[in-house]
């Protein structure tokens, strides 16, 4: 039977479709016949349309992260990405990607040429992009014919963001249709019976969203056919894919497309009024940051309105937004209303819009950390049944943990096993004693030791310094059962410290050392979306049973020095917090930490490294262990070692300052004087770090957004202020919170789900397939794509670099909120 997308319309229908298609193509040309121009930042740009060409590329860690190749930024939204040669019509995250060989920008001809290749296939090619019509011409150029093994497989793909096109139509010379909200593209079977993805539409010319001038894109192929595929049939994080198959036995220009995007004449992006969605303490500095399109008029006058109970509004403050200057691709203005101290409900009016209501109140931050401890951390608890009223978040997962990984195992998600097992177990053998404690690391389900010990130490810091007694959750370790919103008489923070500690101490009980972690054995399980209890059967695999599913997770067991020190630091810290709650566990933790210290000082360090699963810098990790053991025992040998590690403190001060400051009460005056001098130098360094943007925080750039760095620097500033109040003000700490709560680029959403009037409601968590969130989770935030595009998508959860929750950021956020409240107390 002929697929509906391949039926030829009747003659009259063809004439009508041709007329409609001609109008769809001609309309933008009539409105503004202008091609984008290659600018000094090395991408093509015109008002309403930017085309990036390999300004960003795969980082080699996570393969396809949807920030690569030819990309479209259409009326301020990145709507298309991954314009490159791929080996599948609907590639998944871990499918092969080409490696970039070279990128050349010819300003004279306005052309960008990128050389790429698949080394395993001994195949290289050029992608050449230049201005054409209302967009760009994209050419794939071969020096040699396509290798035989890639014939029928290699094609040029351009992927379109589903959430930007839901409900919109497509049009070709052969027919029309609507892009589906839910995965609905056709599938079939090849001769071997394997599933293949079929196109929703085919043709030589394709228009997406002809009815929407802000999303209309026309692609015309000069040779082969175009196909439109629904990549979400293959994986929920797939995009709509427009693909052209590359021909066999040809060289030169083997594929040529003209990609045009309609633009609205005079279009400007709406101003973003960055402000705290949570609100402000009366005594703190209050500055809104207005992010303005460079083609738009200045925001002009801004007003702060106080709202009464009956809805009446009163102007509490007014003034012209002050020009700050350019940053990235926008122009910035600030509106300072710090003088307003009266408690109440307020909104800001500026640039023809008004914000959501927020509070000015002495208790503005008081409950801001509750969802993180009350909901996010319980939901992330592995090896537990977690229930919330009528909702089961997940069953008692991974009760069959774990199997021994073989040596020299190169795995995914930054896991890998060294040449030695450092384990009494044989490859594939079940390892008892690992099926309790620990949290799901992030939006996936692995137990990552490095993240765990950082989380435990942050929670202990909060417990020791602020002692929050909040109890909203029942946690029963014997029954491995959790009930959210049901107090059990024990402080929840203490129980979370215990839960993380149990996972860390289990490794030492079983192996005698820390291990990188526990992760799924194959990608099919790793990409699992849904209740983690269904990911394995909960029963220990039987290697002698051919029907055993072989689904148990793998334990990576390399005995690295960095992990040992990091784990020892957390265990030493936990031993203090657990006194009076579980004295036996507290004693074991301290004894284990001391044993690790002695072991590592008696052997040559094991420096095996894979990604971020084998520990940080060994000296940094040793410093953490020395500090925590000093605080726990008071023994002089740890203070002496901290003094010897001064070069690590000095060289990596932003990373290590908090640990050095924690040790300060136990160190001598010489150390204090040296630390003060270094802190004074850091004050100037920090000012230089934050000077490029108007938000007063360090905004990092890379494949992972920077909220972790923002929280870390804000918390470090708190510690520096407490130690040296004459050198460090409180504002950098509060600015970090304001940034998280909405005073940041791209939008004014709070990056803490369910905290603030408008917060992240679509995030990368265990429920991301439902386009949902977990209350209290903190996302990575604004990802700055090279060279100048800040982005955090609220309508697409699958971009982990922007939207993935991680447990250590949740723990450090709880600490930061308490720090802010401490700074503002009594002001």
Q: What is the pLDDT of residue 702?
A: 81
**pLDDT over 70 at 81, yes or no:** yes
The encoded tokens of residue 230 equal: 């629904």
158 CB contacts (<8 Å, ≥6 apart)?
70, 80, 82, 83, 138, 219, 241, 242, 243, 257, 259
- Which of 392, 401, 449, 427 lies closest to 569, judged by CA? 449
Instruction: Indicate the fold that domain 4-261 takes in CATH.
Output: Beta-galactosidase; Chain A, domain 5 (2.70.98)
Query: Where do the domains of the chain lie?
Result: 4-261, 272-360, 377-606, 679-827
**Residue 648: cis peptide before it, omega within 30 degrees of 0:** no
Does residue 437 contact residue 482 with C-beta atoms inside 8 Å?
A: no
Q: What is the mean pLDDT of residues 121-150?
A: 97
Q: What is the mean pLDDT of residues 93-122?
A: 95
Q: What percent of the chain has pLDDT over 90?
A: 92
Q: Over the range 591-610, which residues count as b (16 or more CB within 10 Å of their CB) and which as e? A: ebbbbbbeebeeeeebebbb
- Which of 257, 161, 244, 241 lies closest to 197, judged by CA? 241
Element of type H or E holding 156: strand 155-160
Q: Considering only residues 14 and 355, tell me which one the structure prediction assigns the higher pLDDT.
A: 355
User: What is the band of 542 on the pLDDT scale with cuts at 50, 70, 90?
Assistant: confident
Q: Over the range 211-250, which residues count as b (16 or more CB within 10 Å of their CB) and which as e? A: ebbbbbbbbbbeebebbbbbbbbbbbbbbbbbbbbbbeee
**Residue carrying structure tokens 């040809």:** 250
Considering the domain 272-360 in this protein, what is its CATH number?
2.60.40.10
Q: What is the mean pLDDT of residues 743-752?
A: 98
**pLDDT over 50 at 227, yes or no:** yes
**pLDDT over 70 at 449, yes or no:** yes
Element of type H or E holding 319: strand 313-320
The encoded tokens of residue 571 equal: 């265990």
* pLDDT tens figures, 426-436: 999 999 999 99
Q: What is the pLDDT of residue 29?
A: 40
Q: What is the pLDDT of residue 801?
A: 94
Element of type H or E holding 259: strand 252-261
Between 618-633 and 583-600, two packed helices, what is the crossing angle to 10 degrees? 130
- In Å, what is the CA distance from 167 to each residue of 179, 180, 303, 648? 6, 6, 38, 55
CA-CA distance, 367 to 205, in Å (whole number)? 55
**pLDDT over 80 at 179, yes or no:** yes
Does residue 586 contact residue 621 with C-beta atoms inside 8 Å?
A: no
User: What is the band of 10 on the pLDDT scale with cuts at 50, 70, 90?
Assistant: very low
For the sheet with 322-327, list strands across it. 272-274, 287-292, 330-336, 322-327
Q: What is the mean pLDDT of residues 477-497?
A: 98
Q: Considering only residues 530 and 672, tell me which one the structure prediction assigns the higher pLDDT.
A: 672
CA-CA distance, 404 to 424, in Å (whole number)? 9
User: What is the band of 61 on the pLDDT scale with cuts at 50, 70, 90?
Assistant: low
Q: What is the pLDDT of residue 62?
A: 67
**pLDDT over 70 at 301, yes or no:** yes
Considering the domain 377-606 in this protein, what is its CATH number?
1.50.10.10
**pLDDT over 60 at 14, yes or no:** no
Q: Considering only residues 801 and 18, tell me which one the structure prediction assigns the higher pLDDT.
A: 801
- Asked, colleague to colleague, whether 272-360 and 377-606 share their fold, the answer is no
Helix, strand, coil percentages, rounded to 5, for the chain:
30, 25, 45
**pLDDT over 90 at 808, yes or no:** yes
Q: What is the mean pLDDT of residues 794-820?
A: 97
- In Å, what is the CA distance from 120 to each residue of 123, 150, 153, 304, 411? 8, 11, 15, 61, 18
User: What is the band of 548 on the pLDDT scale with cuts at 50, 70, 90?
Assistant: confident
Q: What is the pLDDT of residue 185?
A: 80
* pLDDT tens figures, 237-263: 999 999 999 999 999 999 999 999 999
CA-CA distance, 99 to 530, in Å (whole number)? 33
**pLDDT over 50 at 142, yes or no:** yes
Q: What is the pLDDT of residue 24?
A: 43
The chain-wide mean pLDDT, for the chain, equals 94
The encoded tokens of residue 541 equal: 């695999």
- HEC letters along 440-459: CCCCCCCEEHHHHHHHHHHH
**pLDDT over 50 at 466, yes or no:** yes
The encoded tokens of residue 461 equal: 């810091």
Between 561-577 and 618-633, two packed helices, what is the crossing angle to 10 degrees? 20
Query: DSSP characters for 547-584?
Result: T----PPEEE----HHHHHHHHHHHHHHHHHTTTT-HH
Q: Considering only residues 755 and 64, tell me which one the structure prediction assigns the higher pLDDT.
A: 755
Q: What percent of the chain has pLDDT over 70?
A: 96
Q: What is the pLDDT of residue 703?
A: 85
Lowest mean pLDDT among 1-15, 132-146, 280-294, 745-759: 1-15
- Which of 186, 166, 284 lies closest to 729, judged by CA? 284
Residue 537: Cβ-neighbour burial (10 angstroms; 0-12, 13-18, 19+): middle
Q: What is the pLDDT of residue 118?
A: 96
**pLDDT over 50 at 3, yes or no:** no
Q: Considering only residues 530 and 163, tell me which one the structure prediction assigns the higher pLDDT.
A: 163
Does residue 397 contact residue 482 with C-beta atoms inside 8 Å?
A: no
**pLDDT over 70 at 448, yes or no:** yes
């Amino acid at each position: 039977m002929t697929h509906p997308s391949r039926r030829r319309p009747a003659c009259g229908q063809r004439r009508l479709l041709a007329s409609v298609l001609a109008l769809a193509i001609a309309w933008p040309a009539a409105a503004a016949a202008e091609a984008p121009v290659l600018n000094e930042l090395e991408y093509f740009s015109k008002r309403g349309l930017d085309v990036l060409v390999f300004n960003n590329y795969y980082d080699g860690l996570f393969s396809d992260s949807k920030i690569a190749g030819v990309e479209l930024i259409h009326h301020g939204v990145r709507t298309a990405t991954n314009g490159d040669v791929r080996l599948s019509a609907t590639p998944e995250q871990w499918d092969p990607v080409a490696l970039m060989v070279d990128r050349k920008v010819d300003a004279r001809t306005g052309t960008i040429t990128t050389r790429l290749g698949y080394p395993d296939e001994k195949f290289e090619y050029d992608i050449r992009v230049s201005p054409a019509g209302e967009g760009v011409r994209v050419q794939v150029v071969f020096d040699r014919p396509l290798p035989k093994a890639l014939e029928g497989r290699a094609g040029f793909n351009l992927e379109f963001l589903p959430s930007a096109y839901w409900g919109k139509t497509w049009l070709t010379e052969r027919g029309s249709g609507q892009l589906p909200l839910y995965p609905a593209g056709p599938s079939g079977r090849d001769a071997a019976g394997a599933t293949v993805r079929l196109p929703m539409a085919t043709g030589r010319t394709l228009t997406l969203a002809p009815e929407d001038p802000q999303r209309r894109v026309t692609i015309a192929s000069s040779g082969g056919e175009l196909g439109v595929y629904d990549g979400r049939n293959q994986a929920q994080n797939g995009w709509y894919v427009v693909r052209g198959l590359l021909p066999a036995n040809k060289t030169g220009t083997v594929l040529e497309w003209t990609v045009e995007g309609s633009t609205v004449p005079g279009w400007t992006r709406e101003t973003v009024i960055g402000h705290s969605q949570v609100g402000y303490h009366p005594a703190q500095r209050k500055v809104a940051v207005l992010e303005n399109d460079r083609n738009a008029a200045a925001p002009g006058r801004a007003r702060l309105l106080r709202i009464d109970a009956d809805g009446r509004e009163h102007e509490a403050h007014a003034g012209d937004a002050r020009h700050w200057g350019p940053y990235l691709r926008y122009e910035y203005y600030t509106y300072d209303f710090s003088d307003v101290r009266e408690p109440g409900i307020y909104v800001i009016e500026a640039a023809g819009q008004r914000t959501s209501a927020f509070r000015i109140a002495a208790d503005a931050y008081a409950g801001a950390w509750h969802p993180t401890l009350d909901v996010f951390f319980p939901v992330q608890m592995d090896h537990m049944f977690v229930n919330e009223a009528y909702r089961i978040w997940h069953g008692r997962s991974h009760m069959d943990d774990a199997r021994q990984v073989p040596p020299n195992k190169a795995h995914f998600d930054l896991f890998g096993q060294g040449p030695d097992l450092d384990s009494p177990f044989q490859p594939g053998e079940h390892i008892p004693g690992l099926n309790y404690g620990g949290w799901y690391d992030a939006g996936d389900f692995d137990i990552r030791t490095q993240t765990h010990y950082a989380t435990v130490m942050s929670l202990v810091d909060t417990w020791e310094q602020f002692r929050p007694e909040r109890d909203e959750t029942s946690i029963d370790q014997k029954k491995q059962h959790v009930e959210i919103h049901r107090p059990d008489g024990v402080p929840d923070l203490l129980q979370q410290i215990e839960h993380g500690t149990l996972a860390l101490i289990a490794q030492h009980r079983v192996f005698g050392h820390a291990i990188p972690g526990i992760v799924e054995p194959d990608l099919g399980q790793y990409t699992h979306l849904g209740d983690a209890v269904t990911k394995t059967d909960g029963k220990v695999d039987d290697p002698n049973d051919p029907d055993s599913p072989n689904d148990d997770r793998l334990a990576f067991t390399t005995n690295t020095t960095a992990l040992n020190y990091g784990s020892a630091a957390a265990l030493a810290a936990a031993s203090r917090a657990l006194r009076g709650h579980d004295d036996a566990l507290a004693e074991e933790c301290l004894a284990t930490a001391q044993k690790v210290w002695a072991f590592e000082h008696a052997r040559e360090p094991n420096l095996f490294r894979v990604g971020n699963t084998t520990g940080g810098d060994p000296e940094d990790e040793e410093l953490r262990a020395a500090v925590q053991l000093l605080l726990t025992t008071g023994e002089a040998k740890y203070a002496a070692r901290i003094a010897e590690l001064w070069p690590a403190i000095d060289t990596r001060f932003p990373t290590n300052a908090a640990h050095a400051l924690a040790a300060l009460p136990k160190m001598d005056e010489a150390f204090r004087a040296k630390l003060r001098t270094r802190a004074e130098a850091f004050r100037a360094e920090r000012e230089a770090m934050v000077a490029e943007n108007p938000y007063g925080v360090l905004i990092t750039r890379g494949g992972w957004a920077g909220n972790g760095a923002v929280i870390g620097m804000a918390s470090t500033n708190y510690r520096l202020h407490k130690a040296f109040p004459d050198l460090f003000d409180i504002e950098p700490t509060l600015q970090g919170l304001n940034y998280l709560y909405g005073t940041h680029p791209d939008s004014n959403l709070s990056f803490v789900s369910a905290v603030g009037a408008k917060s992240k409601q679509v995030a990368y968590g265990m429920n991301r397939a439902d386009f949902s969130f977990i209350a209290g989770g903190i996302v990575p935030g604004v990802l700055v794509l090279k060279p100048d595009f800040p982005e955090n998508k609220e309508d697409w959860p699958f971009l982990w670099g922007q939207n993935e929750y991680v447990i250590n950021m949740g723990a450090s956020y709880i600490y930061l909120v308490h720090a802010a409240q401490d700074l503002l107390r009594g002001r």
